[in-house]
Amino acid sequence: MTTSTRIPKEIEEVLSTHRRGFLKSAGLLVVSFATGIDALVAEAAAQNTTAAEPLGPYPDPNFRQLDSWIVIHENNTATFYVGKTDPGQGTGTSFRQLMSDELDIAFDQTTCIMGSTDITVDQGGSGGSTAMERDSWPMRRAAAEARRVLLEMASGRLGAPVDQLAASNAVITVKADPSKRVTYGELIAGKKFNVTLTGANVNVVTGVAKVKPVQELKYTGQPLQRDDIPAKVDGSLKWAVDVKLPGMVHARNVKPPFACAKLTGIDESPVRNLPGFIKVVSKGNYVAVVCEREEQAIHAARQLKTTWEKSATAPFPASEDLFEYMRAAAPTSASHPIVMGNPDTAFSGAARVIEAEYEIPFQGHTAFAGAHATADPSNGQMTVYSNDMKAYSMRTGVAAFLGMPRERVRVVYMQGPQCFGRSAAEDAACEAAWIAREIGRPVRMQWMRHEETAWDTKGPAFLVKVRGGMDAEGHLVAYDYNARSCDYNHVGYNEPDTVLIAQLMGSRRAKPAAGSSAMPSEVYAIPHRRMVGEVVSLPLVWETPLRTGNLRDPNGPQSTFAAESFIDELAAAAKSDPLEFRINMLTAATADDTGFRRARSIAVLKAAAQAYGWDPRPSPKPLGKGNILTGRGVAYSFRGQTVVAQIAEIEVNRQTGHVWAKRLVCAHDCGLVVNPESLRHTVECATLHGLSRAIHEEVQFDTEKITSVDWVSHPTLRHADIPERIDVVVVNGDPNPNRPDLPPYGAGEAALKPMLAAIANAIYDATGVRIRRAPFRDARVLAALKAARL
């Protein structure tokens, strides 16, 4: 975007005029600048990291001030400030596309800064696939308002009414005489808009201007390359793990060897004379070692002698006994049943009743690198550098945990291994901050692999019982769904009293979080239904590595595995093609289709079928001969307003039980597509994440500790697992021609939902064996095949 060989001019301007002097504060590290100036930015950032200047107190950027969102520079470029974080789905690039369109500025003349609590408004960071669906709207409205204000300013400057002006590429001209022109930079650079926006909260904040109709958006809908990728492949990106501060030291945790264990002694003698040793810090059951160098801290944490007392009662059953335990446990809570029609009567009148029970174990976030954060306590403030997607709640959480005023804490978001929800990055931040305050020096904390895999928060295990009543024609007329999740004391985002270090130091909530279960995500027309979600608790729920927290599409993959496996069982019982069976249930009530949800579902299922080349027939197919059995399975979900249908074609090795998804199709409708390339990428990766959870991921434990502690004992998808072919079909829109302006809906999490069921259904199609327990690891599949005498 610039050919300058020095620090870009707009950065200098920001430096001199920006209300917060952010460049000096290393907040610059988070920028996702356009291709071409990455190196310059990285260089400037590197210089500024080492010269990090403790500032503070730190403001809350006012979302009702236009200047908080957009700064226009003398060289006619713009910087957008948004309260989001982009862990790699390309949302930052998409925000620029939308805002460039609304502002009428060339995309490559813009940059976007995200997620630093003192310079970007609080939009909550990331989560829930809300980037486009919810959070892009205030950005668009702010950009539209900036354009409106600039046109008014130009009207005065050019002596022409606004309606006789045109704005394009950050230049405003008089329509009748384009030689009369003024640039945005000439109008506003070095000055502030000083325009107040209105709205009760950041999600609804708006100016006077209206956003453009979709048809007038130029960059929106274009497959522009992501602006964060070049620095990720040439080694120039400075990640949260790369933060280096003057005087910084390294810390490593000494985790309890058993869940819910009590620390009874620390013997420092093995570490006291180690090179670089600084201190053992401990409070309650929390222990960490601090050293000058990273490898010294790792070594010292291994050498430190600690003694622990096991809990009197077993904190949890062993993983192989988990579902028996869950079956027998009294629920800690249950949702109010959702009842439609009269299910009891319908069941009693049904020609046939089918029941099944599904089991999904705990699955981990298992971020690619151990949780980490660097905390700087300089000058009585606390700056935390973190890759946590929730920078804003981290600020509040760290402040509350430390008992510091919130204005003295800031969080600088930087790139890191993708979090997938409430990850241990939040625990590491409080640990780094606490130790930094204890020793008065900047502290870099990182968890080791065994800590990350064992102690990160888990997606809850689910036990789901489903019952279906069919009439004589094979239609589903009654449906009874009961989900039971092991989710009591669910850990929220950046909670100062449930973050792991707080628990280890003795913090207890009087009333633990209730946790949640989940309903099926579909819009089938089933006349009589009853659905309930229950939660059960493990015996002990504090200071345990079996703590649950939001994991990408929380509870969705679990409930959809059960619900969509069961639909397949019904289709098989009815000897119907499983795809047609679904479409029939969606078609049955399209006359009563508020919001065209069923019409859109049918369109997406048909798009998947067409891309795959689906030939209608009941499952299972006649059993093949030879070692490799092939089959195909479909599953579907409706999440929020996003529709997904996935088809998996698999091979099952009869001798080994190994399942390979040879081909995957994902048809996806999330409304308005801002960047089709980023969307395809997001959908593809989420689909494969679903595959990983279908065939690999399971947290295992004995009655006192997690035994899944690394990539061997908690495996993840590998290159050899990757399908030969993946088709992502972007359906993009409502089949109803009267609704051209569908807004954007959430994209990523929705695509994770159906894959477990699609694989299970494909295994059934190939083998005639229904596996109701995920994941479909080789040994489990082989055992199921042998049990069926295959």
Partner 1 sequence: MSNITLKVNGSTHTLDIEPATPLLYILRNDLGLQGPRFGCGLGQCGACTVIINGAAVRSCILPASSVKGDITTLEGLSSNGRLHPLQQAWIDEQVPQCGFCQNGQIMTAKAMLDKNPHPTDAQIRESMNGTLCRCMTHYRIQAAIKRAAQGMSKARPASGKEVGA
Q: Which of 235, 403, 622, 626 binds partner 1 (CB under 8 A)?
A: 235
Name the minimum Å distance from CB 296 to partner 1. Answer: 8
Interaction residues for partner 1, span 279-298 (CB under 8 A): 293-295, 298
Distance, in Å, from the CA atom of 176 to the CA atom of 166, rounded to the nearest integer, reads: 10
| Single-letter residue type at 164 | Q
What is the number of other CB atoms lying within 10 angstroms of the CB of residue 655?
9
712 touches partner 1 by CB under 8 A: yes
692 touches partner 1 by CB under 8 A: yes
Interaction residues for partner 1, span 434-473 (CB under 8 A): 446, 448-449
Tell me, residue by residue from 182 to 221, as one string, x for binding to partner 1 by CB under 8 A and - for no binding.
Answer: ----------------------------------------
| Single-letter residue type at 612 | Y
Tell me, residue by residue from 378 to 417, as one string, x for binding to partner 1 by CB under 8 A and - for no binding.
Answer: -------------------------------------xxx
Q: Which of 328, 330, 720, 787 binds partner 1 (CB under 8 A)?
A: 720
Q: Specify the residue, 240 or 384, whose C-beta has the smaller distance to partner 1.
A: 240
Span from 201-209, 308-316, 588-596, 719-727 in contact with partner 1 (CB under 8 A): 719-727
Q: How far, CA to CA in Å, does 238 sit from each of 23, 30, 184, 383, 425?
A: 15, 9, 32, 17, 17
155 touches partner 1 by CB under 8 A: no
252 touches partner 1 by CB under 8 A: no
SS3 content of the chain, % helix, strand, coil (to 5): 35, 25, 45
Span from 70-78, 235-243, 258-266, 508-516 in contact with partner 1 (CB under 8 A): 235-243
Q: Pick the closest to residue 756 from 484, 359, 367, 482 (CA basis).
A: 359
Span from 162-170, 304-312, 497-505, 721-729 in contact with partner 1 (CB under 8 A): 721-729
Answer for the pair 410, 118: CB distance below 8 angstroms, yes or no.
yes
377 touches partner 1 by CB under 8 A: no
771: which 2 tokens?
A: 């596996």
52 touches partner 1 by CB under 8 A: no
Distance, in Å, from the CA atom of 183 to the CA atom of 187, rounded to the nearest integer, reads: 6
Kindly report the backbone phi and psi dihedral angles of residue 305, in degrees, each rounded to the nearest multiple of 5, phi listed first.
-95, 125
711 touches partner 1 by CB under 8 A: yes
Q: Pick the closest to residue 427 from 402, 453, 394 (CA basis).
A: 394
Name the minimum Å distance from CB 410 to partner 1. Answer: 23
What is the total count of residues that contact partner 1 (CB under 8 A)?
62
| Single-letter residue type at 295 | E
Name the minimum Å distance from CB 340 to partner 1. Answer: 37
Span from 254-262, 644-652, 674-682, 729-737 in contact with partner 1 (CB under 8 A): 674-682
Distance, in Å, from the CA atom of 400 to the CA atom of 457, rounded to the nearest integer, reads: 21
Residues 6+ apart with CB under 8 A from 292: 249, 250, 276, 278
Three-class secondary structure of residue 182 per DSSP:
strand
What is the maximal distance between C-alpha atoms in the chain?
A: 87
Q: Which of 84, 212, 226, 658 binds partner 1 (CB under 8 A)?
A: 226
Q: Which of 55, 717, 760, 781 binds partner 1 (CB under 8 A)?
A: 717
What is the number of other CB atoms lying within 10 angstroms of the CB of residue 737?
7
560 touches partner 1 by CB under 8 A: no
Distance, in Å, from the CA atom of 710 to the CA atom of 762, rounded to the nearest integer, reads: 29
**Residue 325: exposure state from Cβ atoms within 10 A (0-12, 13-18, ≥19):** middle
775 touches partner 1 by CB under 8 A: no
Using CB under 8 A, list all residues that contact partner 1: 87-89, 225-226, 228-230, 232-239, 241-242, 244, 275, 293-295, 298, 366-370, 415-418, 420, 446, 448-449, 677-678, 681-682, 684-689, 691-692, 710-712, 716-724, 726
